[in-house]
Structures are given as C-alpha cells and as structure tokens.
Amino acid sequence: MLNRLVPPPSHPLTSLVLPVPTVRTLPNGARLHLLAGAAQPVLRLQVVLPAGKAHEPTPGLAQLAARLLTEGTATRSARQVADEVAFYGASLDAEAGPDHATLTLYCLSRHLPALLPLLAEVLATPAFGAEELAQTKTRISQNMRVERQKTSFLAGEEFNKQLFGSDSAYGRAFDEASFNELSADELRAFHAAAYAPAGADILLSGDVAAVADLVAETMSDWVNERMRGGTRPVSAQAFIHSFTHSPSHSVTVPGSMQASIRMGRPWPALTGPDTPELLLLVKVLGGYFGSRLMRNIREDKGFTYGIHASVVPRAGATSLVIGTDIKGDSVTATRHEIALEMRRLQDEPLADDELEIVKNYTLGKLLGETATVFEQADKYRQALLLGLPADYYPELARRTQAATAAQLQALAQQYLSPDDMLTVVAGA
C-alpha cells in the first residue's frame, strides 16, 4: 500500500544539456541566433537592442521609444498595426529594460512570412506621431502615479537610488515633469542612435526550419534610415556607484498601515568565480518557499505573506535584494529577524538534509525553466547579454550539486554581514 506520508525518492541531476543555437552574422551587422524546437508549429522572434535606460541621453527616452514602436509606422497607423497582428492571431510587443530594448513577435510559423514586413517596418520607421506620443505619455504618467501610492514601489525606487546613485541609469527616479517635455525629435534622434541593426541580436526560436532563410534575408535589408545623416550610436552610461556601508533610509507614506522593506548590497556579477555557490546561498536565505526567511518571518512570526531574497543581474551592476511587505508596527522586529538569519548562516553550517532539499529545489527549478524551446532561448539570451560562458548552465548544475555546507558558510561570512546591507523602509 502506498504510504502518502513518505515522499517519493529524489534522484540527483547528473547533467544539464541545452541546445546550442546556430548564429549567423547578417550583412548589416545584426546577429541572427536560431534555436530550433519543432514540437509545435509556433515561433518567437525577438530583436534585442542596446536601447535600455543605460543608453538614453535623456531620462525616459528608452521607455517611451519602446512603447511607441508599435503605435504607427511610416505607412501604417497604430490601428492598422494592431489589426494586422490580430488578424494572424499573433502578438507584437516592445519593452525597454535597464540595458536593452526588446521587440517580441509570437506567431504560428506559417504566418511569419506575412508578418515579417510589418516587424521590419516597426523597427526601422516608427512614426512617433504627435497624437500617439501624447496618449502614451499620459498613460505612462498615470500608471506611475498609481505605482507611487504603493509602499513596495517607493521602497524599490529609493533602494535603487541609494544603491546605484540618483544620477545613474539604474538609480534614476521617474520625473513626470521632464518626461512630459520629451519631444518627437528627441525620440527620432534616440531611435537613430540606439535602434541600429549593427547592435542588434535577433533570436528566432521554435519551429524555425522553414523560415530561417527568409528571416535572414528580410532582416539583412533592415536599415535605420535615420542614421543616413551620420548619427552615431550612443554608448552606455557609466555605472555610478555611490553606496556606502550600513546606511538606512526611510520613505514616509502618511496614513499607510503597511510598510515595505528592501535590503541588500552590491553583489558579484554572474561571471564571478563563486556564482553557483552564491546563488545557492541566496536560495537558502530567501529564494524559495522553504527558505530561512520564509520559515521564520512568515511561518513562525506571521509578519508577512511573503519575503524573498534574489540576485538581480544587470550589464553594469549586480545586486542582492531582500524584499517584503509587512504591517507598519512590525518593521523593527522584521529587520531584526532578517539580520538574525544572516548571522545564523555565517555562524552555523547547514545541516545535510536542508542542503539536499535546497539543492534538489534549485536543480528541479532549473530543469523546469529549460523544458521548452522558448525557455531555453530565454536562458541563452541571458547568457548572451550578460557575457556568460557557453557552459554556464551545465556548470551551474554541476557545481550546485557539488556545493558543500562549508563553502556556503564561508561565502555567508564574506557577503551576508548585516552591517554591510543597505536598508530602505517605505510606509508609516
């Protein structure tokens, strides 16, 4: 008879093998990365450009330019773009992050030939029309006003400001007044500088066999017409690091019953020599539901519904972030317990059973995150943009399996001192 009180046996992950994409360099300098997976007749085409916040000469340009890519082109109105995408049951979206902007198309593989000319036009000749510009500014400004009523948003904003510096791309706060002054001419100049094919990585994943040559041919014809006047690409802004040890900052939110805590510090880049063990250490601290912080602060103390610790990688700087939302009267006690769990990791080696559990969780999650071709493409894209070695994920799996309690304790002593953490509290 099956005893449901006894969990099924676990089996260690002996190796992780990910497919290797085919890479072509197109005549215009763009790189086409092909990752085949024909289980379903669908594909994803992503165009990734160095057009994030780190590359904008004026705050707000990266986000605004990305939002407006699909809001009309030289020959199509915003409605026509949306209608054409909807007709084929596809989706086409653009977003800008800290370092890169990404245009993403999902569609059935048989519809890609009809949609490719639209994607190429969206990339090369966005209209930046006056009506769409005004509407997009209004939407973004309204959304930011709503976000700034949340203690969680305010804590994260202040945390980045203090960690990276208020004048850096990663630490700059949104300024509605200056954002609303951005002009179509500034957008066109930024588009000319940042949306150039020579800086682009094109990732085509899924059922790609029948369309790979067509994508290569079409994207080879992509030219940024606005660069013909001699505009040169902009460089990424230098990372500004103003963080000093042990600062604590607060953001007062009158009338709030809730408070949000963000705690963390600069962290080694994922290219560092101790990355697998450091990621495992962060998992132990607060990276999954059975973590130290969750068991203490949620399950035992009942201060929060959830608390997390994570490593946030960027091209110019990586950080450790611990975050939670709690009742305003639990701030001091919560901070005390977070520090206590850090010191426990420094003072006491992990028990064998806890180490095995967190290893199994980490490796199982890694397997789950590489189950589909699109997830595999996401891992490849992260490695590509962060400059990680080709064997990063297989090596991550191998060293996670081999990590010892002594290694994690030594790393905790080096990186998890409470006195080295920046702390921001937003709320009452």
pLDDT in tens, 297-310: 999 999 999 999 99
Same domain, 218 and 121: yes
Phi-psi region of 209 (alpha: psi -120 to 50; beta: other; left: phi over 0): alpha
The CA distance from 31 to 216, in Å, is: 9
Contact 24, 32 (CB under 8 A): yes
Length of the chain: 428
392-402 vs 352-368: helix axis angle to the nearest 10?
A: 160
Share above pLDDT 90 across residues of the chain, in percent, rounded to a whole number: 86
pLDDT value of residue 14: 65
pLDDT in tens, 341-383: 999 999 999 999 999 999 999 999 999 999 999 999 999 999 9
Which residues share a beta bridge with 101?
49, 96
222: closest CA among 347, 407, 45, 89? 45
66: closest CA among 98, 36, 42? 98
Same domain, 183 and 283: no
Same domain, 197 and 277: no
Same domain, 70 and 146: yes
Each residue's pLDDT expressed in tens, for the chain with a length of 428 residues: 778 888 777 666 667 888 899 999 999 999 999 999 988 999 999 999 999 999 999 999 999 999 999 999 999 999 999 999 999 999 999 999 999 999 999 999 999 999 999 999 999 999 999 999 999 999 999 999 999 999 999 999 999 999 999 999 999 999 999 999 999 999 999 999 999 999 999 999 999 999 999 999 999 999 876 554 434 445 555 554 555 655 889 998 888 899 999 999 999 999 999 999 999 999 999 999 999 999 999 999 999 999 999 999 999 999 999 999 999 899 999 999 999 999 999 999 999 999 999 999 999 999 999 999 999 999 999 999 999 999 999 999 999 999 999 999 999 999 999 999 999 999 97
Same domain, 322 and 407: yes
Structural domain boundaries enclosing 341: 248-427
pLDDT value of residue 34: 97
Quick check: pTM over 0.95? no
The CA distance from 297 to 291, in Å, is: 10
Residue 182 in any domain: the answer is yes
Residue 5 in any domain: the answer is no
Report helix, strand or coil for 303.
coil
Residue that is last in its domain, among 174, 201, 229: 229
Question: Which positions ≥6 away from 176 have C-beta within 8 Å?
Answer: 141, 144, 145
271 phi, psi to nearest 5 deg: -80, -5
Q: How many CB atoms lie within 10 A of CB 123?
A: 22
61-68 vs 130-147: helix axis angle to the nearest 10?
A: 120
The CA distance from 323 to 395, in Å, is: 29
Contact 400, 278 (CB under 8 A): no
Residue that is last in its domain, among 229, 259, 293: 229
Contact 114, 88 (CB under 8 A): yes
The CA distance from 239 to 54, in Å, is: 8
Which helix (H) or strand (E) covers residue 108, if one does?
A: strand 101-108
pLDDT in tens, 175-215: 999 999 999 999 999 999 999 999 999 999 999 999 999 99
Residue 373 in any domain: the answer is yes
Same domain, 204 and 278: no
The CA distance from 23 to 257, in Å, is: 53
Residue 3 in any domain: the answer is no
Paired tokens of 240: 């500004």
44: closest CA among 98, 93, 99? 93
> Which CATH number is 317's domain given?
3.30.830.10
Residue 88 in any domain: the answer is yes
When divided into structural domains, the chain yields a total of 2
Phi-psi region of 128 (alpha: psi -120 to 50; beta: other; left: phi over 0): left
The residue with tokens 């245009």 is 103
Which helix (H) or strand (E) covers residue 258, if one does?
A: strand 258-267
Burial 388-416 (b: 16+ CB within 10 A, else e): beeebbeebbbbbbebeeebbbbbbeebb
